[in-house]
Structure 1
Amino acid sequence: MPPTPRSASGPVEFRFSRMERLLRGHRVRTVSVDGVAAEFVTDPALVRRVLVKDDKHYGKGELFQKARILSRAGLLAQDDALHRHYRRLAHPYLRTAAVTGHVPVMEEIARDTVASWRPGQPVDIQAQMCRAASGIALSTLFGALPRETSNMLGEHLAALSWEMIRKPLYGNAARSQQPTRRLAGAFTGFRSLLASCVAGRLNSPDTAAGYLSALLTDTGRDGTPALSADQICDEAVMMLTAATVTTASVMSWALYLLAEDPLVEEKVLKDLAQTAGAGAGGVAGVRSGHGQGPPGYALRFLMEVLRLYPPVWITCRKTLSGVTLGEHAFPAGTHVMFSSYLLHRDPGRYRDPHRFDPDRWLSIRPTAQDASYIPFGAGARGCVGEAFAWRELEILLGAVAREWRLTLRPGSRVRAAAHTTLHPQRLLMVPQPR
């Protein structure tokens, strides 16, 4: 895209290496995104101010729409009070204690996914990870469904998620209010199936239906339903898709990086064997100091994957009132953006920042006060499903790595694509039994 710094040299395409050079030495610098001025923040302390300390002065930005075609209610509501309300509704189904109860379902779906692979037959890893993550999201957040219904929803959710992963964030296609034909078709197909399920439960909500049940039974102060049937459906689509696209993108990078280094692969397998069933605990446990000693190797591996390839790689906020960032004062209505990709590769924080090194996390411990590592965001609008995601990633990693050794097809070159998520442009891998 742009964003590009304003300069006499004219606009340049968004390339991470070029942006790193152009932004180096600037805590805040004016850029242009599709012709719209924005302030690009590179200082982790200032990013934390935007996300945490002064978050009430910032609303959702408009430069990167991401999932806005899916829902404008619930968790994506512009109004902070509404957003907090739906975070509270979702939290009981995503907190650590609830995630523990989801583990058997996660493991079963992960095993079923990899059991369908055949030795020597190339596998589209991103499609398969969409399949696994969509099944997990449906089963844990939507409750028990008839097998045929669940399978149909899963297939359509996986297709929608893959189209969302590839959705452009900039340029004419992103500015258009109309999604691409393929995305529109995938959205319509999944939403129509989901709407039938929602309609069937409106009059008799199933208390075991997870977040869907919470949406169906949510009421306003006057006791009437807080959301219409259409809004409930849109919110469910958004939640299920968000849970799928991020996991699929991260797992695709994880399996690629595992195949690239046999020594790393060996260490991951050894750690998974030693900690089977224990649960990695995620970065939340590391930040809180829970557990003995440093994080295990499998967790360090996943932490490093998320450092180099955070799925939500760029974020925009819009000031609701006048703000000060460092030595800069900005009026209300200013677009403020930052990139977790660039923050995670800051040479001032990470030695040899572009090198994949899980052992760097033996000496570096991320903290809630440090915005130089924010793969799930931070503050009031950070990812509500972080604990869920860490456990799911560990289970999927173990299910694949224990059964299969993956290799790239000869002559393959994997490139990063910066779309709705940061994902491999194309990732075909060949499985062989261990």
Structure 2
Amino acid sequence: MPPTPRSASGPAEFRFSRMERLLRGDAVRTVTVDGTPAEFVTDADLVHRILVRDGKHYGKGELFQKARILSKAGLLAEDDALHRHYRRLAHPYLRTGAVLDHAPVMEKVARDTAASWRPGRPVDVQAEMCRAASGIALSTLFGGLPGEVSTVLVEHLAVLAREMIGKPLHGRAALRRRPAQRLAKAFAGFRSRLAACLTDRIDAPDSTAGYLAALLSDAERNGTPALSTGQICDEAVMMLTAATVTTASVMSWALYVLARHPLIEEQVLKDLARTAGSHAGTPSGHGHGPPGYTLRFLAEVLRLHPPVWITCRKALSDVTLGERTFPAGTHVMFSSYLLHRDPGRYPDPHRFDPDRWLTIRPTAHDTSYIPFGAGARGCVGEAFAWKELEILLTAVIQEWRLTLPPGSRIRTAADTTLHPQRLLMTPRPR
């Protein structure tokens, strides 16, 4: 993998242009990650085979340091049956109907976040989006918490999310002591407070709502809890962190793009005014006609800045990719960043163009666009994420016009998520 050398001034910038140059053209190419060989797949049809058609023949890869400190007992379980069980358990709180019920809470959190800013005073956009997404996740998925408890949990979840977003994936950077210590401290700080809250809820399960209530009431056939108290806490941390880091990264990019493209911002504002109160949906081809401009804008943000930008799977048996067969244990990698910039699928792929989605309609069988993954282990919260992004975007840009410092250059950091390395913006009232 091709990062630039590290300098004394800060972390290296990942060379995406080099990755594209080296890997484009070969459907499958052998690469090395931290001394371990892997097969890098750039063909969307083969990625569909890995994630969907032959998904049962692939397990989680081990080359990247993504979420190892989080839960492995629920949605992240290696066992497919366990994963399906917890997916079904979470689904009632993340399906489209439930998301619409969540909308008023999402709107309150989003507007409270925007209202806390001051004209002319720069804000760390990524930190603010972590705070907003943390508040939304806790309020909607783990409702029923006392106000003062929720406030403390939001603060600590936002810190954990920021550390997780910037967690290096591989190489010596992933093993450096200071970032690892900061992440471990943030994880322990949030988990200990959530565990204390969870202990209170076990004695009074009726006071708990959302996915946390489902975890507490989930039982095996003999009536014993399916997960221990510690596992329930880990699962809660995992769900809340996952719901926060991706949203915060995508929203940071969305606000950056609007600051760079005033004409696009104007069209988004007009579309939001025209469609106030309606449900944006997703650009997946459901419904009639092409998606509205705001949805096309968000789809384009996710195309060029997919938060989960690289993925590794491990073959559980001998597998065939194209004309080659690989033995069990082979590491297989693919990148949504590369798939989303395939010139054969997306003309002028590096250009930000929301209107390309007037003619491109992603389907479940098209893995050239997978910002939320695909197959049995695709993101269970996709509908939740689309609505949350729409609401956060509306709350911020209807209140503020955000500007970048003159001459600023925002670097792309290729860590656990694809995020802007440092994004300070100045709010001005509309």
TM-score by length of 2: 0.96
1:13: Cα distance to partner?
Answer: 9.2
The residue aligned with 1:172 is 172
Q: How does 1:164-243 map to 2 (within 5 A)?
A: 164-174=164-174, 180-206=180-206, 208-243=208-243
Q: Identity rate of aligned residues, in percent?
A: 77
**Quick one: which of 390, 393, 407 aligns to 2:389?**
393
1:395 and 1:260 map into 2 onto residues whose CA distance is 21
CA distance in structure 1 between the aligned counterparts of 2:3 and 2:401, rounded to whole angstroms: 39
Per-residue Cα deviation, 1:48-89 (whole angstroms, up to 9, x for no partner)? 000000000000111123112111110111111111111000
Instruction: Write the letter of the residue equivalent to 1:141.
Output: L
State the match for 1:107 in structure 2. 107
Of the structure 1 ranges 217-226 and 300-309, higher mean CA displacement relative to structure 2 is found in 217-226
Per-residue Cα deviation, 1:196-216 (whole angstroms, up to 9, x for no partner): 111111133137521111111
Equivalent residue, structure 1, for 2:9: none
C-alpha distance in 1 between matches for 2:427 and 2:13: 36
SS at match of 1:75: coil
Correspondence 1:319 to 2:296: no
Q: Aligned partners of 1:338, 1:419: CA distance in 2, in Å?
A: 15
| Structure 2 unmatched runs, 5+ | 5-11
Moved over 3 A (4+): 1-4, 175-179
Which secondary structure does the structure 2 equivalent of 1:366 belong to?
Answer: coil
Question: Which residues of 2 match residues 69-80 of structure 1 at below 5 A?
Answer: 69-80=69-80
> How far apart, CA to CA, are the structure 2 residues paired with 1:324 and 1:176?
37
Counterparts in 2 of 1:301-320, with a 5 A limit? Answer: 301-320=297-316
Instruction: Kindly indicate whether the alpha-carbon contact (under 8 Å) linking 2:111 and 2:395 is maintained by their aligned counterparts in 1.
Output: yes
CA-based RMSD of the aligned residues comes to 1.7
Q: Distance in 2 between matches of 1:376 and 1:105?
A: 23
Distance change (3 Å), C-alpha of 1:13 and 1:25: farther
Question: How far off its partner does 1:173 sit?
Answer: 4.4
Determine if contact 1:74/1:86 at 8 Å carries over to the other structure: yes
Q: Does the 8 Å CA contact 2:144/2:207 hold for their aligned counterparts?
A: no
Deviations 1:247-277 (A, max 9, x none): 0000000000011111100000000001111
- Cα distance in structure 2, aligned partners of 1:420 and 1:13: 14
Aligned residue among 325, 334, 337 for 1:338: 334
Asked if residue 156 in structure 1 is aligned to residue 156 in structure 2, the reply is: yes
The answer to whether residue 42 in structure 2 is matched with residue 46 in structure 1 is no
Describe the superposition over 1:8-31 as per-residue Cα deviations: whole angstroms up to 9, x where unpaired: xxxx99521111111122000000
Take 1:15 and 1:259, find their aligned partners in 2: how far apart are those partners? 24
Number of matched pairs: 423
Query: Is the deviation greater in 388-397 or in 197-206?
Result: 197-206
Separation in structure 2 between the aligned mates of residue 208 and residue 147 of structure 1, nearest angstrom: 13
Provide the TM-score with structure 1 as the length reference.
Answer: 0.95
**Residue in 2 aligned with 1:272?**
272
Q: 1:380 to 1:139 in 2, by over 3 A?
A: same
Instruction: State how far apart, in whole Å, the 2-side matches of 1:65 and 1:46 are.
Output: 24
Paired residues for 1:14-53 under 5 Å? 15-53=15-53
**Alignment check: 8 A CA contact 2:13 2:412 kept:** no
**Does 406-415 or 300-309 show the bigger shift?**
406-415
Structure 1 gaps of 5+ residues are: 5-11
CA distance in 2, matches of 1:24, 1:39: 14
1:134-170 alpha-carbon deviations (Å, 9 max, x no partner): 0000001111211111100000000000000000001
Corresponding residue SS for 2:402: strand
Instruction: Give how far 1:221 is off.
Output: 2.2
Alignment partner, residue 246 of structure 2: 246
Q: Does 1:408 align with 2:404?
A: yes
User: 1:2, 1:33 within 8 Å by CA — same for their partners in 2?
Assistant: no
Aligned to 2:285: 287
Shift of 1:181: 1.6
2:143 is aligned with 1:143: yes
In the alignment, the residues of structure 1 paired with residue 139 and residue 127 of structure 2 have an alpha-carbon distance, to the nearest angstrom, of 18
- Tell me if structure 1 keeps the 8 A contact 2:14–2:414: no
